[in-house]
A and B are shown apart, each in its own frame.
Chain A
Amino acid sequence: MEKNSTYREIALGGEMSRRAAVQRLALVLGGTLIAPSILMESCARAANSVGTGDPERIAFLNAIADTILPKTASSGGAADANVGAFIDLMLADCYSQEHRDAVNAGLVALDAAADEANGSPFAEASAFYREDILKKVDQARREAQGLHYFAVLKELTLLGYFTSEIGCTEALDYQPVPGRYDGAAPVTEETRLMA
């Protein structure tokens, strides 16, 4: 029987404590360790409401997702597809506590770092600045050994967006009933992935 690679779980292993996540992000961003008071404040905002649909948390997740996959000339962005709500649901329903803890710690660190460097929480930072932060975090993700919270967020962002109605119909070529098969279709400027 065949598997659908679209739904294949990306292997995620290892362990990363919240403390380690915070420290790693601080290092990546070149900053000092973040003050505990800011951490606790951010924590209340970002990390303690998994799966509840808390609007502030969803907005935060949408800000991250939309920075990874923003609106372009050809298609809407991840926030348009409300990928933040999808990420929150997936973390609650399909991921382990270890993954949730890692993501929550990452969110706290991300917010706090944005706060410290830019004077505002991540979601309120400019698109340019958000992209700048996440590029560094993405680099850290790639270099990390074991579980990195941004690997989870990035994977869920891509899954959520490219299987959303906006992602399928605007970014990709969605053909519910192709009706035929062509094994050597020419690629043009308009060619998109089959959704």
Chain B
Amino acid sequence: MANANEYDAIVVGSGISGGWAAKELTEKGLKVLMLERGRDVKHVTDYPTTNMDPWEFPHRGRATNQQKEDNPVLRRDYPLNEINPHFWVQDKECPYTEVKRFDWYRGYHVGGRSLMWGRQTYRWSAMDFEANAQEGIATPWPIGYNDIAPWYSYAEKWAGIQGSYEGLPQLPDSEFLPAMELNIVEKDVADRLRKHYNEARRLIIGRSANITVPHTGRVNCQYRDKCWLGCPFGGYFSTQSSTLPPAMATGNLTLRPFSIVTRILYDKDSKKATGVEVLDAETNQTYEYKAKIVFLNASALNSTWVLFNSATDVWEGGLGSASGQLGHNLMDHHFRVGAGGSVEGYEDKYYFGKRPTGFYIPRFRNLPGQESRDYLRGFGYQGGASRAGWSRGVAELGIGGQFKDDLSRPGDWSIGMTAFGEVLPYHENKVTLDRSKTDKWGLPVLAIDAEIRDNEKKMRVDMANDAAEMLEACGVKNVNTYDSDYALGMGIHEMGTARMGTDPSNSVLNKNNQIWDAPNVFVTDGACMTSAAAVNPSLTYMALTARAANYAVEELKKGNL
């Protein structure tokens, strides 16, 4: 290598998509520099709480008043806690501006949110890729299901996805490891649901990136349900368990933590990136690193932040802004609405082990050939059936020894489910740079201006009512719907702001995730999404990243990049 700061490729970010980019590019022989803005997190040894017993947490997992005071955003939901605070970005260090409420839960460390993710793993269907074009919404996807299907298979075989083969057109099967088991109540409800809706609605095991058999040198899931603490067995997919080890094994990877990429270095004559500028988060020194290609995988909003700050001498709004789409079309999945009820009987059955997934009910609304609803797109449900724990005793009347012994045994069965719905890509839902506010390093922050609109609000009515109708049809008692309200961002599925498209006039990226104005820059994290579908997005990032990396190396070999 001519210069210590020169590489074949630079990967910005080390989360789900960055990890995949590093794995693919190094395995294809490229010398890769992976830049992570936060600290290093070593597999197993840097999971400080993963083997702690409940009583070792002084507040038994709850956030303290001091934590709440320090984290006005994190405190809004479960990311503020005593169990894994080391994996969530503290609000004080990294502020942002909420033009409208937007809950932004981030993980700035090696592995990013691959360490804390929910692991639900679903393929998109052909219908999802075609919806924008068919409905005249936003802009068409430049790829279809057949373009990505082989890459889904490729990513699944390595990542390890458990699930059941169902043959549903709206939710294509993955390459599955043996499925986790529905519990006895879920199984019976699944049977009743199939019968009642004549196979048109189905309750299946929630497909997840948990391995049920030993896989690629990792130990299978031990049913602790402590995934978000980091798994010492490597039982779920994370950068640390799955993509970083093979990348490191090639000898081609250099990982540099504490490296905030402030901009992509752009050469306007060759119309290519030449590398990136890095601010060392510990020393505040600035460095430049050069490479033939750059993979931008900083997470949706931060990848766009980097683009805003890049090539501003050519385009005032940054690299990719010529389309007028950079920063726009921000999406998430809307949820926190559903239904639950009580289940009679089954007192002689319980479960053993803590299954790290629930059940899933695939989308059944607005499918081809169906009567359409008063909104576009659809939703699926995640849920579970369980027996009440000791916390039931808080509301019950009870004092004394019998009360304690009763609470030590499983309570009544109940079942509940939460809908996850598609959010449309609205141009008005956007992020911009807020230069009036800076973070700990003096860098301008993002301003987020987004909300759900009429389509999502109408969908939420079905999301609640359909859940109740199905539960009642399956014999569940005392069914109640709920809508716990939702603000964009709570789904932790930020998508869009640098979308793919068919033409430079309608998109930031082309069909291979290349920036139209800088073809050696690939953006393959959530930023690239042209629509959101109703299913969890991470598997699609994995597949798109592997696909783009393969294309990038082919083009490099041809001398095209």
Contacts and interface: CB of A to CB of B under 8 A. Distances in A.
B408 A75 contact: yes
A97 B184 CA distance: 45
Interface stretch (B2-10, B317-325, B390-398): B390-398
Contacts of B355: 181, 183
Interface in A165-195: 165, 168, 171-172, 175-187, 191-195
B351 A6 contact: no
Contact of A163 (B55, B349, B408): B55
Contacts of B64: 93-94
Given A165-B53, A193-B409, A184 B59 contact: no
Interface string B67-89: 00000000000110101000000
Interface stretch (B11-19, B221-229, B256-264, B337-345): B221-229
A90 B64 CA distance: 8
B271 interface: no
B184 A93 contact: no
Contacts of B374: none
B356 to A, nearest CB: 8
A192 B350 CA distance: 10
Interface string B297-336: 0000000000000000000000000000000000000000
A162 B61 CA distance: 13
Nearest to B402: A72
Contacts of B186: 183
B391 A8 contact: yes
Interface string A148-176: 00010011001111111100100110011
Nearest to B181: A183
B391 A5 contact: yes
A122 to B, nearest CB: 13
A162 B180 contact: no
Interface stretch (A25-33, A112-120, A131-139): A131-139
Q: How large is the interface on B (under 10, 10 to 19, 20 to 34, 35 or more residues)?
A: 35 or more
B390 A180 contact: no
A168 B351 contact: no
B404 A165 contact: no
Given A142-B397, A162-B407, A7 B61 contact: yes
Contacts of A96: 65
Nearest to B411: A193
Given A191-B350, A195-B54, A94 B65 contact: yes
A72 B222 contact: no
A3 B401 contact: no
A182 B352 CA distance: 5
Contacts of A161: 404
Nearest to B117: A1
Nearest to B228: A1
Contacts of A37: none
Nearest to B82: A7
Given A9-B62, A75-B408, A171-B404, A2 B394 contact: no
A185 B53 contact: no
Interface string B234-246: 0000000000000
Contacts of A193: 387, 389-390, 407-410
Contacts of B408: 74-75, 171-172, 192-193
A62 interface: no
A168 B353 contact: no
A68 B399 contact: yes
B143 interface: no
B110 to A, nearest CB: 19
Interface residues of A, number: 64
A94 B63 contact: yes
Interface in B394-446: 394-395, 397-401, 403-405, 407-410
A68 B391 CA distance: 14
A163 B60 contact: yes
Interface string A71-115: 110110100000000100110011110000000000000000000
Contacts of A21: none
Interface string B376-398: 00000000000101110111011
Given A72-B405, A193-B410, A186 B349 contact: yes
Interface in A1-29: 1-10
A68 B62 CA distance: 22
A165 B2 CA distance: 59
B66 to A, nearest CB: 7
A185 B351 contact: yes
A82 to B, nearest CB: 10
Contact of B180 (A74, A134, A181): A181
Contacts of B66: 93
Contacts of B389: 5-6, 193
Nearest to A139: B397
Residue among B66, B181, B187 with the most chain A CB within 10 A?
B181
Interface of B: 51, 53-55, 58-66, 78-79, 81, 83, 116-118, 180-184, 186-187, 222-225, 228, 347-356, 387, 389-391, 393-395, 397-401, 403-405, 407-410, 492
18 contacts: A1-B228, A2-B228, A6-B389, A72-B405, A158-B393, A163-B54, A163-B60, A164-B54, A165-B55, A171-B408, A172-B408, A177-B222, A177-B224, A181-B351, A181-B354, A184-B351, A191-B409, A193-B410
Given A1-B228, A10-B391, A193-B407, 13 more contacts: A1-B117, A69-B404, A94-B59, A138-B398, A151-B394, A163-B60, A178-B222, A178-B224, A179-B223, A182-B181, A183-B183, A184-B183, A185-B350
